[in-house]
Structure 1
Amino acid sequence: MQTVQATLVAAIAAAALAFSPLSAAATGENSRAALIISVDGAIGPATAGYVKDALAKANERRAEVVILRLNTPGGLATSMREIIADVLASSIPVVGYVSPSGAHAASAGTYILYATHIAAMAPGTNLGAATPVQIGSPVPGLPSKPTDKDGKDKKDSAQQTEPTDAMTAKMTNDAVASIRSLAELRGRNADWAEKAVREAASLSASAALQANVIDLIARNPTELLKQIDGRVVEIAGGETRHLATKDATIGALDPGWISQFLSVIADPNVAFILLLVGVYGLIFEFASPGAIAPGVVGTICLLLGLYALNMLPINYAGLALMLLGIALFTIEAFTPTAIVGIGGIIAFVLGAMMLFKVEAPGYRLSWWVIGIAAAMFIGLIVVIFSSLRRARKGPARVGAQAMRGLSAEVLDWADREGHVFTQGERWQARSAEAFRPGEMVEVASIMDLTLMVRRRPGLTAGEGGAR
């Protein structure tokens, strides 16, 4: 019996040893994951933060590969460089994928795609137009070849244009050096990359594959993982990685609520509106102290707007002009004068036009927002002047002039002096006439704190001092 038990135990142990490698392999295979980071819209500080956090999470989860899905018109150069630095330092292979069909990786998106370990595009997508847009010229910097009316290059070198701006040339050359270094690092077409910067060239997915700008075309992430399966890539530190992605599980790394919130307020138009709401809230709070709500809301919006501006490349001269315009509006609200109000509008509009240093896609201040803001301030000035005009034309409500013509009830009277009751107050009064208590009189004038009254025919004591 003991022999049988020993044999059974040995058989179970042998089976466990035999199946343990398969189980480990199956577990390892199931643990492989391809995590997708989606970049949609303009690239800014919030996007850079999201990509950094997502790559850190992918590293913690030991993902097999990260798919950086791009659909962007471009964005800020500073945020683009942060993303490129994170991709180059990633210990997990990053696959750049322009998707879905109809998407594009323009401007900053082209640089990021060049930085990824594997570059892919979906059919019907495009990339390119990588000229630094803040420079303001489609072919900035170096001399260009002028063409005649037939579109042919002119051979006369003397007629070629010269650089008109040293800063333009410096920024262009820096951008060219950056994208060429990425192309050489990944073994892609460096000449076309330079053309994309200098001439804002663009390519479709099939043309990009033929020009060795990308590595492959895939219709969806599943097909993409099948095509890159077995490829060898070099990650940070010179280490090579053999990709096993054929049966990898696809997951998504969505941005957290903080990244989503920052992406909303980092929009220049939203930041601009937050500033306006904050300023209006403080103006209303100062105009009517004790309302509390306008002050609280205005302070919160003003702080959020300033925080958003801190993340964006702003022109401090433009910000100073805006603040000057707002200050002039505030002065106008308390001491109405046409010159101060008009000056505030001019300063505010000029400051809004100059507020942002760059004209990157997605980071332009809308003319509609500027126009609506200016119209609101003009409306505020109109309301102030209308109120002032009505106040000047209307009857006096305070001081001696406001007392004239009021009805008063005589409380007591002796000789030519006594006391009357009007507007809820007891006043000392004088008159050349004699009155009886309860009789209604009219205020003729006021001298110091004494009312000069006179008889008012047609009024009785029952009218109670009504005007």
Structure 2
Amino acid sequence: MQTRRAFCSLFIFFLCITLTAALTPPAGAAPEDRVLVLEIAEAITPASDNLIADAIERAENGNFEALVISLDTPGGGLEETQIIIKAIENATIPVIGYVPESGKAWSAGTLILMGTDIAGMAPFTVIGSAQPVQMSAEGTKPVEDEKIINALVKFSVETARKHGRNETFAEEVITKNRNLNDEEALEEGVIEYRASSIPDLLAQVDGERVKDRRLQTANAEIEIYSPPLPLSFLKLISNPVLSSLLLTIGLYGIIFGIANPGAGAEIFGIIAIVLGLIGTGFNINIAAFFLIMVGVGLLILELESPGFGIFGLAGLISLIIGSVFLVPLGAENIYTPEFRRTLLLTIVTPTIILGLFLVFAIYKVAETRKKKPVIGAIIGDIARTIDPIEPEKRGFVRYRGEYWKARSEEEIGAEEEVEIIGKEMEVLVVKRKI
């Protein structure tokens, strides 16, 4: 008996050891080690700073080890670039900049890369050429105003100095449009790592101490950032070509609408111009409020006008777009991705339901307008008297299963067929059917 108990105890002991070893993950591969990757593969636009702010917020709230910003961009707006660099500096989570294989980070991309906590480049990639340019009707031309150049140089140098990077290059990338490949950038101290891929970069930075935390990224799970619906739409209309096209279409829409009243082109022109302004950096909250007001006004106009639904359709589009942009896009910690998704459903769903109801109501109104007047429709129809009708005495007739008061200029007996020749309020005027 004692031998059996000893055997059972030994078996349980080895079983516990085996299960513990099987369930314990290898060192450095804890399941909570995750890295968020934001891919920017186009120009830096007014949507880019919102995207990066949202990605930083998601990485902070999701307990990610770091945020990697993959930069493959020809450059972009200076104001957006400065906002992005400030957001990276204020982030509590390490932000790693990386130029992917066959990519480039020119102009604004170079400044953003130098503003990240850790910078890396893949082989055969290039950074540089950050002299600002000015857009005009004649195309682009370099900005040579010393006031602007000196301010931008100082900003670039201080950004590089803050992260211990080459200050000379930070100046010459603007004043001389210098360019460096990955090997030169590493040799001159502009970046810290050369890596063939993001997993390779994460393996190299593992153990680095950044922003009071030691990175554990060697075997971290990589999660690609996916923007919420409002940011996806903002990213779409922030494309310089599309935003310019929206402004142009909006202008011609207003001109056409004024020249041809009633077509509704001016309404779509206003909406296109508002979207174009949002795409070029106009305040989103003001634009959202304006679109909602326009939408409500158009729906009221549709119910009051004898149109064919053009104002109602434009109003519904304005309401939906405006309600989408009402969802907060800031980097407040209280606005978690889950909260924003719930808020989006809370705001947009009632708008769509109300819009569909109004579309149905407008359809019914239009259907009613197409019908013949009721009075004209019953003239000539046949009814049957229920009781006698005399010139001075009204009676009742049965018409389509309903009882109606009726009068006649002649005497008509009960249960006789009569012809309806008119209607006075709720009284039918009848005569004996010949």
- Give the alignment's TM-score, normalised by structure 1: 0.53
Say yes or no: does 1:187 pair with 2:164: yes
Residues 306, 95 of structure 1: CA spacing in aligned structure 2 closer, same or farther, 3 A cutoff?
closer
Aligned length: 278
Letter in 1 for 2:131: T
Distance between the aligned counterparts of 1:212 and 1:260, measured in 2?
A: 36
Task: Quote how far apart the aligned CAs of 1:106 are.
Answer: 1.1
Letter in 1 for 2:155: S
Q: Which residue of 2 aligns with 1:290?
A: 262
Match of 1:54 in 2: 55
1:37, distance to aligned residue in structure 2 (A): 0.6
Which structure has the larger Rg? 1
**Aligned residue in 1 for 2:152:** 175
The answer to whether residue 183 in structure 2 is matched with residue 206 in structure 1 is yes
Contact in 2 for aligned 1:138/1:200 (Cα 8 Å): no
Q: Counterparts in 2 of 1:312-323, with a 5 A limit?
A: none
Structure 1 residues without counterparts, runs of 5 or longer: 141-167, 313-467
Q: How many angstroms apart in 1 are the aligned matches of 2:230 and 2:83?
A: 18
How far apart in 2 are the matches of 1:15 and 1:90? Answer: 46
Q: Kindly provide the amino acid, as one letter, of the partner of residue 112 in structure 2.
A: I
The separation in 2 between residues aligned to 1:289 and 1:6, in whole angstroms, is 98
Return the match for 2:249 from 262, 277, 281.
277
- Distance in 2 (alpha carbons) for counterparts of 1:183 and 1:276: 40
Q: What percent of counterpart residues are identical?
A: 35
RMSD: 3.2
Going from structure 1 to structure 2, the CA distance change for 1:222 and 1:277 (only over 3 Å counts) comes to same
Summarize the Cα distance change of 1:282–1:250 in structure 2 as closer, same or farther, 3 Å threshold: same
User: Once superposed, which parts of structure 1, at least 4 consecutive aligned residues long, lie more than 4 Å away?
Assistant: 1-28, 135-140
Q: Pick closer, same or farther for the CA change 1:290–1:222 going to 2, 3 Å.
A: same
Give per-residue Cα distances to partners, 1:308-329, cap 9 Å, x unaligned.
34539xxxxxxxxxxxxxxxxx
Cα distance in structure 2, aligned partners of 1:255 and 1:194: 34
Select which of 223, 226, 246 maps to 1:254: 226
Contact 1:138 1:199 in 2 (8 A): no
CA distance in 1, matches of 2:104, 2:194: 14
- With the length of structure 2 as denominator, give the TM-score of the two structures: 0.57
Residues 19 and 73 of structure 1: CA distance in aligned 2, closer, same or farther (over 3 Å): same
* 2: CA distance, partners of 1:9 / 1:134: 81
2:271 aligns with 300
Q: Which residue of 1 aligns with 2:124?
A: 124
- Unmatched 5+ stretches in structure 2: 284-434
Tell me which residue corresponds to 2:205. Answer: 228
Contact 1:128 1:203 in 2 (8 A): yes
The question of whether the paired residues in 1 share the 8 Å contact of 2:46 and 2:280 is answered with no
Match of 2:97 in 1: 96
Amino acid aligned to 2:196: R
Please tell me whether the aligned partners of residues 46 and 279 of structure 2 are also in contact (alpha carbons under 8 angstroms): no
| Counterpart Cα distance in 2 of 1:310 and 1:82 | 13
Give distance in 2, aligned partners of 1:2 and 1:86: 69
User: Residue 262 of structure 1 aligns to a residue in which SS?
Assistant: helix
Alignment partners' CA distance in 1, 2:61 and 2:180: 36
Instruction: Please give the residue correspondences for 1:74-89 in structure 2 after superposition, counting only pairs within 5 Å.
Output: 74-89=75-90
Q: 1:61 to 1:192 in 2, by over 3 A?
A: same
d(CA) in 2 for partners of 1:250, 1:310: 31
Mark the CA change 1:38 to 1:287 in structure 2 (over 3 Å): closer, same or farther: same
The answer on whether the counterparts of 2:132 and 2:143 sit within 8 Å (CA) in structure 1 is no
Is the Cα–Cα contact under 8 Å of residues 266 and 311 in structure 1 kept in the other structure? no
* Partner amino acid, structure 1, of 2:209: V
Q: Cα distance, 1:39 vs. partner? A: 1.1
Task: Tell me, in whole angstroms, the C-alpha distance in 2 between the residues paired with 1:296 and 1:33.
Answer: 48
Indicate the residue corresponding to 1:437 in structure 2. Answer: none
Q: 1:265 aligns with which of 237, 247, 256?
A: 237
Write the letter of the residue equivalent to 1:216. Y
Report the secondary structure of 1:258's partner residue: helix
